[in-house]
Amino acid sequence: MKDIIVWAIHTPAGTIVLVAAVLAMYAKKGSALHRKAGSYFTVSMMVMLVSGIAAAYLKNSIDDMMLGAIVLYTVFTAWLAAHHKKNETGLLEVTALIWVVGFGIIAFAISLGWQEVIAPFAYLMWGGLAILLALGDIRNLYHSGLSGTQRIIRHVWRIGFSLVWAALAFTDKIVKMVGANLKSMQGEELLFIVAIPTMLILITIVYWIIKILFFSRDKLAPYASPTE
């Protein structure tokens, strides 16, 4: 059952995610193509993550379940940042905050030995990340939503975080398809299959954040509140 979920749902959805992400990143921001690609990305990402969490549950992998849970949250909140009007929040933002707080509590509990895992320190880091994300959500709710470049940056970096993990999951599937695993691969192979794609995504996200902050305020103003 697990393999059926992975190869029939999880992997095809992940492929659509990467194609849609490339289109969304390089399409004109605010254009019909950008919005449509973003919609395909969000829906496919949700399908990929939910199916991945289900597969992780079937193989009793807490690591993969927790990773799916936090990326599901970042995709959802990135979509909310673009979907809502500026200075607007609602029940969905509160739900997301409860989700990430719950994630943080579980992560800290696991790091303290509540559940036996290979790398408990990693869960301490996940818990710290959850605190930072929750503080961002609290700030968002306190100000009744963000506007302008702040809202666009929130959307971009949370999408970027999600996309990095989607790319890593995709490369992991490629590695497994050729009958290998990441631990057995040579440094050069890891560089080309894992490190380079990940770095390209990170560089692209940093590029867009810098461009939004310092070079595109006037050009992006019409897209800062597209649903008004």
pLDDT tens per residue, range 52-78: 999 999 988 888 899 899 999 999 999
Domain coverage including residue 61: 2-88+145-223
117 lies in a domain?
no
155 lies in a domain?
yes
Mean pLDDT along residues 184-194? 61
pLDDT for res 96: 95
Whether residue 35 is predicted with pLDDT greater than 90 in this model: the reply is no
Give the 3-state secondary structure of residue 25: helix
Distance CA 218, CA 80 (A): 23
pLDDT for res 86: 64
127-173 confidence digits (pLDDT tens): 999 999 999 999 888 887 777 788 888 888 898 888 888 777 777 66
74 lies in a domain?
yes
Give the 3-state secondary structure of residue 92: helix
123 lies in a domain?
no
Angle at alpha carbon of residue 156, lines to 149 and 14, rounded to 5°: 160
| Among 13-27, 114-128, 189-203, 214-228, the least confident range | 214-228
* Residues in Cβ contact with 216 at an 8 Å cutoff, skipping those fewer than 6 apart: none
pLDDT for res 225: 45
Mean pLDDT along residues 23-40? 85
pLDDT for res 176: 65
pLDDT for res 110: 92
Whether residue 228 is predicted with pLDDT greater than 70 in this model: the reply is no
134 lies in a domain?
no
What's this model's pTM, rounded to 2 decimal places?
A: 0.82
75-114 confidence digits (pLDDT tens): 999 998 887 666 678 889 999 999 999 999 999 999 988 7
pLDDT for res 219: 52
Distance CA 132, CA 86 (A): 22
pLDDT for res 107: 94
Q: At what angle do helices 91-111 and 62-83 cross, to 10 degrees?
A: 160
pLDDT for res 224: 47
Length, in residues, of the chain: 228
pLDDT mean across residues, the chain: 82
First to last CA, the chain: 45
pLDDT for res 136: 92
pLDDT for res 174: 67
206 lies in a domain?
yes
161 lies in a domain?
yes
Distance CA 182, CA 172 (A): 7
Whether residue 125 is predicted with pLDDT greater than 50 in this model: the reply is yes
Mean pLDDT along residues 199-222? 75
Q: How many domains would you assign to the chain?
A: 1
Band of pLDDT at residue 178, cut at 50, 70 and 90: low
169 lies in a domain?
yes
